[in-house]
């Protein structure tokens, strides 16, 4: 399946630019200590096990290659070889020859930091799991008997073994919480990890004291179980966030390609980041412009939809401005570079996104807000218990301290820690089945609180691809589709999609760059292309995209295209309005088109011809007014707003960058998932609040018991797991309803 | 109860073997590409080159 698509893509590319274009990769090869080299590249088009095997197998058979490993999840291929750095290009060519796209990318230090953090979490989790299992094994024996039936010596022995396992585990795996708590405290506030850390340390310390004194209040099992459960939640949360982090490195990738620089009549490939202002850059048809510049030579059409959101390809002639990130459709052109890659519009979008992403981090999750209230209360209770029993109750200070510590252990937020993640995992799983992918854990929480929705036009409210508009003669459709099948132009593709019958055999097909296609059928010359080339120049102009067909010397026939609305756009907007959310439309497209679309789907307020920074300003001003904003968009021009909005969604057809910037991705040709996800988010949030209520109710019962000194290790273990089960059971109600 | 002297160390040892295996698998990067691992089980033996 994947293989077919790949070979097709390869064929198309070869027509555009014959031969391989792998060059300059030797500059990216890393030099290892033992004289060998390694190279990391991004491979696109890997779909299945056969792809992995083909790529790795081919490389491993080359003489100098020591290792080749393809990471399926990230698409990153690492090759290590014993020879000189020059071989890099040959390896890239070998992979390209198999039919895969290869892109350079910069390995960042940040990435390895994320990787080592994941390893650290997993290691802590593994150790805690080992400890929890073994200590439970011993504790069950202690609970099942009394000091009389078991004998003091045996019980002390079991306690000592538990201590031997638990204390190193608390010190090792507890670091996850200790570090976070220290960070929070040194920044002058508290989080959930502060009471957790305190409880862990006190439980460990007190239990050790009890073991030394042959006591029975040993809480090693509770402490280690707590670490284990909380770490599971941490790890799941971390994995969800890691996807979002990948966005940053992909952004850099889009700036780190190669450009063909013309110097003294020769064409040289150089990394985009080395291209300077004033250089001449050649861009082949079908390639992306990698820098901002002015056309110096050649004429073509550009697809600017990714950057400006405009659906109709723009014509460029010498003197016209071109932006990085747009796609050259028809003919090769030469640009004079106006701004180097790091100053280009694309780079500005990326900077806006980074800035916006930092704003995103300002959001305080419900769980953390709860922790801010919870922590002082619990600590006051513990202090009160200590002072109360010691000064008023007349106990010795050791016994008072033990009661205070029991209060801390039993109120340790096990249920509180599960209250949010369990519901979110269930909700995310449910949405996944309906084709909605939720990337960050707290996205649903943020979605449930929105009061404004900003929607992009092209690709969001509309399908984002032109489709044939109007009715035409069957014979003409067949002829046009047969000819259009030989071109990759968006309108040609739309033509092919709209015709389902058999194709005709057309001879002598030629593509005239910037004009159209020409071929011969039944002795007549057929032309398909622009109005200026083969159309009726006198025909009334229309605001729709058009393609003209001329058979022989006959009268030209026009075909019109529009970008259709998604069939349920209007209904979804209506639903949002009824739920009290104000929808606005922001688009880079022309005023007339935007206005018409807004009317068709019932949006009262819209902004047309917005540049990416302008879109971002709209968002900023809305947020400054205190609105909570959902952004739905699919293009590069939406990316900063997607990253900066309180919560953001992108359709599955969106470009990678937008998908990475968005919190939620929905599949399919419908817009309804936006509203469905909002509904699910509301219900999720309701269950989360119920869970918090349950956790608080548990504490209302548990704290007095602890204050009264009635809690034993068995009671603590039962109460903790009991409340956790109750919270989990409540979360499962999400499945039963609706 | 003296049997505990043997059994508890044995139980701990078995647990430690499991933990050691986990740490080894973690250090050798087996958790870095979970999707890839799911695909790789479908592959033929690595060492033999696929027919050209």
* Domain-ending residue, one of A562, A583, A613: A562
* Chain A residues closer than 8 Å to B18 by CB: 130
Do A96 and A114 sit in the same domain of this protein? no
Domain that holds residue A321: 276-339
Q: Strands A545-551, A524-529: parallel, antiparallel or unpaired by DSSP?
A: antiparallel
* Domain-ending residue, one of A312, A339, A366: A339
Quote the strand ranges of A230-363, DSSP E. Answer: 258-263, 266-271, 280-283, 292-297, 300-303, 314-316, 321-322, 327-328, 333-339
* Element containing residue A444 per DSSP (H, E): helix A443-447
Do A125 and A248 sit in the same domain of this protein? yes
pLDDT at B17: 94
pLDDT digits (tens, 9 = 90+) for A128-180: 999 998 998 888 888 887 767 777 888 888 899 999 999 999 999 999 999 98
Contact A134 B12 (CB under 8 A): yes
Q: Which residue has the higher pLDDT, A248 or A25?
A: A25
Pair of tokens at residue A198: 């305190």
Is A270 within a domain? no
Torsion angle, CA of A308/A310/A315/A317, rounded to 10 degrees?
-10
Contact A71 B33 (CB under 8 A): yes
pLDDT at A131: 94
d(CA B32, nearest CA chain A) in Å = 8
Q: With H, G, I as helix, E, B as strand and everything else as coil, classify residue B11.
A: helix
Do A126 and A247 sit in the same domain of this protein? yes
* Chain A residues closer than 8 Å to B43 by CB: 49-50, 52-53
Q: Which among A599, A584, A582, A572 is positioned nearest to A668, based on CA atoms?
A: A572
Catalytic residues of A: 456
pLDDT at A593: 80
- The whole-angstrom separation of Cα A601 and Cα A574 is 8
- Residue A325, domain CATH: 2.70.150.10
Q: How far is CA A22 from the centre of its chain?
A: 29
Do A120 and A197 sit in the same domain of this protein? yes
- The whole-angstrom separation of Cα A499 and Cα A351 is 43
* Domain-ending residue, one of A562, A578, A610: A562
Is A63 within a domain? yes
Do A250 and A116 sit in the same domain of this protein? yes
Is A425 within a domain? no
Go through chain B and tell me how many residues it has. 52
Q: With H, G, I as helix, E, B as strand and everything else as coil, classify residue A321.
A: strand
Q: Which chain B residues have any C-beta within 8 angstroms of a chain A C-beta?
A: 1, 4, 8, 11-12, 15-16, 18-19, 22-23, 26-27, 31-36, 39-44, 49-50
Q: With H, G, I as helix, E, B as strand and everything else as coil, classify residue A506.
A: coil
- The whole-angstrom separation of Cα A200 and Cα A192 is 13
Residues A636 and A349 sit within 8 Å (Cβ to Cβ): yes
Do A135 and A247 sit in the same domain of this protein? yes
Residue A722's alpha-carbon distances to A178, A613, A694, A715, A717, in angstroms, are: 26, 52, 11, 10, 8
pLDDT at A239: 67
Do A251 and A121 sit in the same domain of this protein? yes
Q: Residue A271: is its pLDDT beyond 80? A: no
Q: Which residue has the higher pLDDT, A108 or A430?
A: A430
pLDDT at A14: 36
Do A139 and A236 sit in the same domain of this protein? yes
Do A286 and A236 sit in the same domain of this protein? no
Give Dmax (Cα) for chain B: 66
Is A144 within a domain? yes
Is A700 within a domain? no
- Residue A86, domain CATH: 3.30.70.100
Most confidently modeled range among A129-133, A231-235, A658-662, A689-693: A129-133
- The whole-angstrom separation of Cα A685 and Cα A673 is 18
User: What DSSP string describes A517-536?
Assistant: EEEEETTEEEEEE-HHHHS-
pLDDT at A737: 57
Contact A71 B32 (CB under 8 A): yes
Pair of tokens at residue A657: 């960058």
Is A684 within a domain? no
Q: Residue A545: is its pLDDT beyond 80? A: no
- Residue A477, domain CATH: 3.40.1110.10
pLDDT at A106: 57
pLDDT at A175: 93
pLDDT digits (tens, 9 = 90+) for A274-327: 788 888 888 877 777 878 889 988 888 887 766 665 666 777 888 888 887 777
Average pLDDT, chain A: 80
Q: Residue A244: is its pLDDT beyond 60? A: no
Q: Residue A4: is its pLDDT beyond 70? A: no
Exposure letters A684-703 (e unless 16+ CB within 10 A, then b):
bbebbebbbebbeebbeebb
């Amino acid at each position: 399946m994947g293989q077919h698509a790949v070979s097709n893509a390869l064929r198309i590319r070869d027509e555009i630019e014959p031969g391989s274009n792998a060059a300059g990769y030797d500059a990216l090869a890393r030099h290892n200590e033992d004289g060998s080299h390694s190279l990391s590249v991004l491979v696109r088009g890997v779909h299945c096990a056969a792809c992995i095997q083909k790529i790795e197998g081919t490389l491993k058979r080359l003489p100098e290659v020591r290792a080749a490993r393809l990471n399926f999840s990230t698409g990153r291929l690492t090759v290590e070889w014993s020879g000189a750095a020059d071989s890099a290009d040959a390896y890239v060519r070998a992979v390209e020859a198999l039919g895969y796209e290869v892109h350079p990318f910069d390995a960042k230090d940040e990435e390895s930091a994320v990787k080592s953090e994941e390893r650290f979490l997993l290691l802590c989790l593994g150790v805690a799991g080992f400890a929890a299992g073994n200590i439970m094994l011993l504790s069950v024996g202690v609970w099942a008997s009394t000091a009389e039936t078991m004998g003091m010596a045996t019980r002390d022995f079991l306690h000592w073994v538990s201590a031997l396992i638990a204390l190193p585990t608390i010190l090792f795996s507890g670091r996850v919480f200790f570090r976070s708590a220290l960070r929070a405290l040194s920044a002058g506030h508290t989080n959930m990890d502060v009471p957790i850390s305190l409880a862990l340390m006190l439980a460990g310390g007190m239990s050790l004291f009890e073991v030394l004194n042959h006591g029975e209040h040993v809480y090693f099992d509770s402490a280690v179980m707590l670490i284990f459960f909380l770490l599971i939640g941490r790890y799941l949360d971390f994995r969800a966030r890691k996807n979002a982090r990948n966005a940053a490195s992909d952004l850099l990738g889009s700036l780190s390609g190669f450009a063909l620089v013309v110097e003294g009549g020769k064409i040289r490939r150089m990394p985009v980041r080395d291209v300077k202002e004033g250089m001449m850059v050649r861009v082949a048809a079908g390639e992306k412009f990698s820098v901002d510049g002015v056309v110096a030579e050649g004429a073509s059409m550009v697809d600017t939809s990714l950057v400006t959101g405009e659906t109709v390809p723009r014509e460029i002639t010498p003197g016209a401005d071109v932006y990085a990130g747009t796609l050259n459709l028809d003919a090769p052109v030469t640009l004079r570079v106006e701004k180097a890659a790091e100053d280009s519009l694309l780079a500005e979008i990326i900077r806006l996104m980074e800035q916006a992403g930092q704003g995103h981090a300002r959001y305080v999750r419900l769980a953390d807000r709860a922790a801010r209230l919870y922590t002082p209360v619990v600590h006051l209770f513990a202090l009160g218990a200590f002072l109360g029993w010691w000064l008023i109750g007349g106990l010795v200070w050791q016994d008072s301290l033990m009661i205070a510590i029991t209060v801390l252990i039993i109120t340790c937020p096990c249920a509180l820690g599960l209250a949010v993640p369990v519901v979110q995992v269930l909700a995310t799983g449910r949405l996944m089945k309906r084709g909605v992918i939720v990337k960050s854990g707290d996205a649903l929480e943020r979605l449930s609180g929105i009061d404004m929705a900003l929607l992009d036009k092209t690709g969001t409210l509309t399908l984002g691809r032109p489709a044939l508009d109007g009715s035409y003669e069957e014979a003409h459709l067949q002829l046009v589709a047969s000819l259009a099948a030989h071109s990759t132009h968006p309108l040609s593709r739309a033509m092919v999609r709209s015709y389902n019958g058999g194709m005709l055999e057309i001879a002598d097909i030629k593509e005239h760059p910037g004009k159209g296609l020409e071929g011969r059928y039944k002795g007549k010359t057929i032309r398909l292309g622009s109005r200026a080339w083969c159309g009726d120049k006198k025909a009334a102009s229309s605001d729709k995209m058009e393609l003209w067909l001329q058979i022989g010397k006959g009268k030209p026939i026009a075909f019109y295209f529009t970008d259709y609305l998604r069939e349920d756009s209007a209904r979804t907007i209506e639903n949002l309005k009824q739920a009290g959310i104000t929808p606005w439309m922001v688009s880079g497209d022309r005023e007339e088109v935007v206005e018409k679309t807004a009317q068709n789907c019932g949006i009262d307020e819209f902004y047309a011809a917005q540049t990416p920074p302008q879109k971002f300003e709209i968002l900023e001003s809305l947020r400054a007014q205190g609105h909570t904003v959902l952004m739905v968009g699919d293009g590069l021009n939406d990316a900063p707003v997607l990253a900066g909005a309180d919560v953001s969604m992108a359709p599955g057809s969106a470009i990678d960058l937008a998908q990475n910037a968005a919190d939620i991705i929905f599949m399919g040709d419908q817009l309804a998932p936006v509203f469905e996800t909002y509904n699910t988010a509301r219900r999720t949030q309701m269950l989360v609040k119920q869970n918090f209520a349950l956790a608080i109710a548990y504490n209302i019962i548990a704290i007095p018991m602890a204050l009264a000194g009635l809690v034993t290790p068995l009671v603590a273990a039962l109460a903790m797991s009991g409340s956790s089960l109750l919270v989990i059971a409540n979360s499962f109600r999400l499945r039963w309803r609706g | 109860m003296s049997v505990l002297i043997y059994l508890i160390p044995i139980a701990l040892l078995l647990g430690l073997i499991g933990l050691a295996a986990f740490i080894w698998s973690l250090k050798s990067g087996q958790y870095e590409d979970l999707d890839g691992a799911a695909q790789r089980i479908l592959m033929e033996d690595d060492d033999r080159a696929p027919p050209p």
